[in-house]
Chains A and B, each alone.
Chain A
Amino acid sequence: QVQLVQSGAEVKKPGASVKVSCRASGYTFTSYSMHWMRQAPGQGLEWMGIINPSGGSTTYARKFQGRVTMTRDTSTSTIYMELSSLRSEDTAVYYCAREYLPNSADYWGQGTLVTVSS
């Protein structure tokens, strides 16, 4: 069965960077792109970008361009999302989600809470 297992919670100071991982199993890793979304406490869902694990190509939301980097390691079937210059507004649960059809997502990781606090 498809599983997306994300790394554990992080606490970071403003200005720092965070790198969240998402390990995929149960399907052919390079056959499906991966989205990253986030959800601030008590808020809705926000799309951050997408990576194609086959060639590594990425598309980022304009809001995050310059601060986000998505990469992949095909040897471990793992996707990474790094967000830099963190500020308090970046406190959120970050999700990876496998692409289903163009630009939708079927299976989601369990989420990673990133807390930005001085």
Chain B
Amino acid sequence: DIVMTQTPLSLSVTPGQPASISCKSSQSLLHSDGKTYLYWYLQKPGQPPQFLIYEVSDRFSGVPDRFSGSGSGTDFTLKISRVEAEDVGYYYCMQSIQLPITFGHGTRLEIK
């Protein structure tokens, strides 16, 4: 199974400041079809995960443009340009190039 490793485990950010989360996969997520099967989710307290980013850098419908994704191969990053109070929760990266689909262990974002 592909192992997804996220860092840091948690971060505390002042509103209006940027935040960055790293995700590394144990195998390349670049498929022969040219797509990279890396996704990001945010799970707010007491809620199911919500879809943020697909195929490394494309924002899902309705996701604010302060969220951006980047990376290639095995190294990926989610950035929040200016953190807002509503961004608190756990962020998960996910790969689906190979079954079983696997997730990182999550990064907890809290507001200072």
The residue in chain B whose Cβ has the minimal distance to the Cβ of A103 is B96
B100 touches A101 (CB 8 A): no
User: Closest Cβ of chain B: how far from A102's Cβ, in Å?
Assistant: 7
Contacts of B51 in A (CB 8 A): 100, 104-107
A12 to B6, CA, bound (A): 34
The residue in chain B whose Cβ has the minimal distance to the Cβ of A104 is B39
At the interface, is chain B mostly helix, strand, loop or mixed?
A: loop
Residues in A24-50 with C-beta less than 8 Å from chain B: 35, 44-47
Contacts of A109 in B (CB 8 A): 48
A101 to B50, CA, bound (A): 15
Chain A interface residue count: which class? 20 to 34
Which of B48, B54, B101, B103 interacts with A95 by CB under 8 Å?
Answer: B48
Whether A44 contacts B92 in the complex (CB less than 8 A), given A59-B99, A101-B54, A104-B39, comes out as yes
A45 touches B92 (CB 8 A): yes
A108 to B48, CA, bound (A): 6
Task: Say if the beta carbon of A9 comes within 8 Å of chain B.
Answer: no
A109 to B105, CA, bound (A): 21
B54 touches A44 (CB 8 A): no
Task: Say if the beta carbon of A53 comes within 8 Å of chain B.
Answer: no
Chain B interface residue count: which class? 20 to 34
Whether A102 contacts B100 in the complex (CB less than 8 A), given A44-B105, A95-B48, A108-B48, comes out as no
Task: Say if the beta carbon of B55 comes within 8 Å of chain A.
Answer: yes
Contacts of A59 in B (CB 8 A): 99
Task: Say if the beta carbon of B49 comes within 8 Å of chain A.
Answer: yes
Interface centre among B51, B96, B101 (most CB of A within 10 A): B101
Whether A104 contacts B99 in the complex (CB less than 8 A), given A45-B49, A95-B48, comes out as no
A63 touches B39 (CB 8 A): no
Interface residues of B (CB under 8 A from A): 37, 39, 41, 48-51, 54-55, 60, 92, 94, 96, 99-106
Interface residues of A (CB under 8 A from B): 35, 44-47, 59, 61-63, 95, 97, 100-111
Give the 10 A-B residue pairs with the shortest CB-CB distance, closest first. Answer: A103-B96, A108-B48, A47-B101, A61-B100, A45-B103, A106-B51, A44-B105, A104-B39, A47-B100, A44-B106
